[in-house]
Structure 1
């Protein structure tokens, strides 16, 4: 038989807070909780907007792995909605909301989570936390720097690192989970686990109906001195059609704003006790919700921030262009300036309206005095490492031109005619005494003067010189 959910939802403003920033929804195929934050920056607006967008996933036609894609898309649409609300009213800058959602298709669950609200499952008497807190203290626990017990009393246990806030980097955790008959599911805002231990939560989850469990859990939080809103959604996975809760339930800020109310809704007054000024003397002057996501306080003049950002961007672009231009002016190459060889400063590239090179030194060396190969190199421009390198290249070109000029000026020797050999005389030969061998002087290498001639240029390499 197909599994179904028997659910209940309840939200309480608490004994200290003046407004409820929690919103929750429970339906046949979706359990959803959002905890708004930002204090005066409209945390209740953020949570209500998130729930109103994501609750559309309560649809029996979405199942299997499609639930993950649907949850991711809904969370991103809710994030875009928060961005639109901030654009409409800049006073809302800094508001945000957690999101914890369980989507149910009758066979399995899809989880989407962002922030520090929690999702639990009770199975066979054991309580499991399905979500992972995106908080500062949880990061310390993950790194092994503090224990879970120390995190429970840490002074910064409410500081959130990731939240739905209208910015593009608000990506939720997504996961598929198994489910079976007899499971009990629970979503809650941080007003419960910050003041009630897992053992007490497990004891309350172990018996009763979903309606009685949400009342008991919220009562435990209030009696423990919770100074925050407290919201719970509890659902039993059953094999028979649900006895109660066929109609979806909407509680908290989402319900109050939908009714046009800014005060406490009926679910809040149902279990409140002890008056409205408990909590050990803590007053509204010190609202802990103001510190939950402190890095982004409200901005009264967003246009000034945008202008400042634009100025910074333009400054970075201008600085980059100036740096690039300064670099080009430290480069040199050897090229031609009319009929003469010249040293250029800059690079061989011009931009519209901007010249990146200029003649630095014009030489007396004429281009047509160079052989063809050297002339083609100069006309194509010869890159140099620096100014000294460019001058060295010009010196080599001048040497080549001088050697070619000498080679062309030197006369070509004419061949000397060889005398004809006279015929031998007739008659008796006359013997000629042999000459003594010629003495060859020997010179010590150390006493021989030496000079290092300049590198000669082959006349054949001077082709093309005019």
Structure 2
């Protein structure tokens, strides 16, 4: 079964505005709507540019998963085009546009959406919204803070959080949708759903041809007091081959610019009274200028990017210099060959950067230290400052000297025998000394001491193992 689209598109500037910032396109394979914003003439430029880029998808051969890639690529190219337009004319800074597109391959629909324009489907008498609004009030509804009914009358219902505005983070929602004969599809700008309830929209879409439905929907919006441009695209999914005589329809700002018009310039609006053109007094602010969340100005974008890079580079360099300066105020005791040395810096390795250097080489040989002290030095001993490092070396020197002294054997001491003979000339017999019994409490212990120093603070001989 081959399906095709029977479509109609219509756009109305509305009863208040003097210029139309909506643009729409309907073709055999693509339904597209863009609602420009930003005040003055920038909104119509943004929507027209977006439609002119994305409408190139209206051709056969884009099917299945390729539709998602094609839609995403087209939206990104439109976003780049908006960025170019702002760079060409800084007066356009702050402009943006919504984008809602349905790409059709005869069996499925690919949806791309960004902003608060909407896509609906009427199936078996039931109206379903296919797109998800990127608005402040919709975020409140999603969080359960307000109801959909409250969102309809919320004072900030027009505040958009995501739009196509030339910035790199303008990514659309992408989704594949099923389609069947008898479905009725509808795209519209916010000038319709902000003033007409879903029930009224459903009633209008339930009967009539696409041409009569777009007229009926726009009439309802104007009668409800809509102070915005109103644009609708309606298409029926039918079981028939698309006819070669079916012509695409381009409406709104895109159609005006394609016919050679440029729309009212900023100076013209001011001469005619920009405030009144927006529906208020001379001191009123055009609601389109407040339509989406404030963003940083885009003028001299390359200069701001260079400034940001310079600041980031300065932070990196400054942080690195601070860290390096800190390392050069640290000291530790280690080894330099066979000798103990004091080093300045930290004992860490960073490719291409030296973080430590020898500050003082000592005369103390490493192998003159006992095993425990030698292992400490070889593993480096951290010091708070240079004075502390020298104190550590002094303690190591004292340990080495005491170990050396304790390992040097002492010469035996001999007591000379008396040479004076006894006065009588007879030998004197010395009685043997009686045995001395030592109390058990005063007998020396056979278990060696486990202390590392003697009572006078000197090094215990047992700790001098390993001295060479």
Equivalent residue, structure 2, for 1:261: 261
SS of alignment partner, residue 149 of structure 2: helix
Cα deviation, residue 90, structure 1: 3.0
Q: Tell me, yes or no, if structure 1 residue 157 matches structure 2 residue 157.
A: yes
Q: CA contact under 8 A between 1:9 and 1:26: conserved in structure 2?
A: yes
Equivalent residue, structure 1, for 2:285: 286
Q: CA contact under 8 A between 1:404 and 1:457: conserved in structure 2?
A: no
Q: Which stretches in structure 2 are left out of the alignment for 5+ residues? A: 265-275, 414-431, 444-453
Q: Which stretches in structure 1 are left out of the alignment for 5+ residues? A: 265-276, 415-433
Q: Distance in 1 between matches of 2:174 and 2:289?
A: 28
Q: Distance in 1 between matches of 2:304 and 2:260?
A: 33
After superposing the two structures, state which structure 1 stretch, 194-203 or 320-329, moved more.
320-329
SS of alignment partner, residue 462 of structure 1: coil
Q: Tell me, yes or no, if structure 1 residue 97 matches structure 2 residue 102.
A: no
Q: Distance in 2 between matches of 1:108 and 1:246?
A: 20
Aligned ranges for residues 290-309 of structure 1 at < 5 Å?
290-296=289-295, 298-302=297-301, 305-309=304-308
SS of alignment partner, residue 40 of structure 1: coil
Change (3 A) 1:173 1:303: closer
Q: Pairwise CA RMSD of aligned residues?
A: 3.6
Equivalent residue, structure 2, for 1:133: 133
Q: CA contact under 8 A between 1:15 and 1:279: conserved in structure 2?
A: no
Q: Distance in 2 between matches of 1:280 and 1:44?
A: 18
Q: CA contact under 8 A between 2:82 and 2:166: conserved in structure 1?
A: yes
Equivalent residue, structure 1, for 2:50: 50
Equivalent residue, structure 2, for 1:455: 460
Equivalent residue, structure 2, for 1:421: none
SS of alignment partner, residue 39 of structure 1: coil
After superposing the two structures, state which structure 1 stretch, 435-444 or 144-153, moved more.
435-444
Q: Distance in 1 between matches of 2:40 and 2:357?
A: 62
Q: CA contact under 8 A between 1:341 and 1:378: conserved in structure 2?
A: no
Q: CA contact under 8 A between 2:36 and 2:95: conserved in structure 1?
A: yes
Q: Distance in 1 between matches of 2:460 and 2:338?
A: 26
Q: CA contact under 8 A between 2:99 and 2:117: conserved in structure 1?
A: yes
Aligned ranges for residues 314-333 of structure 1 at < 5 Å?
314-333=313-332
Cα deviation, residue 352, structure 1: 10
Q: CA contact under 8 A between 1:333 and 1:381: conserved in structure 2?
A: no
Equivalent residue, structure 1, for 2:397: 398
Q: Tell me, yes or no, if structure 1 residue 82 matches structure 2 residue 82.
A: yes
Q: Distance in 2 between matches of 1:354 and 1:107?
A: 63
The two structures have a TM-score, normalised by structure 1, of 0.80
SS of alignment partner, residue 334 of structure 1: strand
Equivalent residue, structure 1, for 2:436: 438
Q: Distance in 2 between matches of 1:128 and 1:105?
A: 21
Change (3 A) 1:26 1:366: same
Change (3 A) 1:282 1:246: farther
Cα deviation, residue 21, structure 1: 1.5
Q: Tell me, yes or no, if structure 1 residue 37 matches structure 2 residue 37.
A: yes
Equivalent residue, structure 2, for 1:106: 106
After superposing the two structures, state which structure 1 stretch, 310-319 or 143-152, moved more.
310-319
Q: CA contact under 8 A between 2:116 and 2:133: conserved in structure 1?
A: yes
Q: CA contact under 8 A between 1:83 and 1:166: conserved in structure 2?
A: yes
The two structures have a TM-score, normalised by structure 2, of 0.80
Equivalent residue, structure 2, for 1:198: 198
Change (3 A) 1:413 1:31: farther
Aligned ranges for residues 136-147 of structure 1 at < 5 Å?
136-147=136-147
Post-superposition CA distance 1:420-449 (Å, at most 9, x none):
xxxxxxxxxxxxxx997632135479xxx9
SS of alignment partner, residue 466 of structure 2: helix
Equivalent residue, structure 2, for 1:60: 60
Aligned ranges for residues 188-227 of structure 1 at < 5 Å?
188-227=188-227
Post-superposition CA distance 1:104-145 (Å, at most 9, x none):
111111111111110000111111000000100000001010
Q: CA contact under 8 A between 2:403 and 2:461: conserved in structure 1?
A: no
Q: Distance in 2 between matches of 1:450 and 1:283?
A: 98
Cα deviation, residue 386, structure 1: 3.5
Number of equivalenced pairs: 429
Aligned ranges for residues 344-355 of structure 1 at < 5 Å?
344-348=343-347
Q: CA contact under 8 A between 2:370 and 2:463: conserved in structure 1?
A: no
Post-superposition CA distance 1:284-311 (Å, at most 9, x none):
9421110112412645544553453244
Post-superposition CA distance 1:157-194 (Å, at most 9, x none):
11111111222221111111111111110000111111
Cα deviation, residue 88, structure 1: 2.5
Q: Distance in 2 between matches of 1:205 and 1:199?
A: 10
Cα deviation, residue 364, structure 1: 5.4
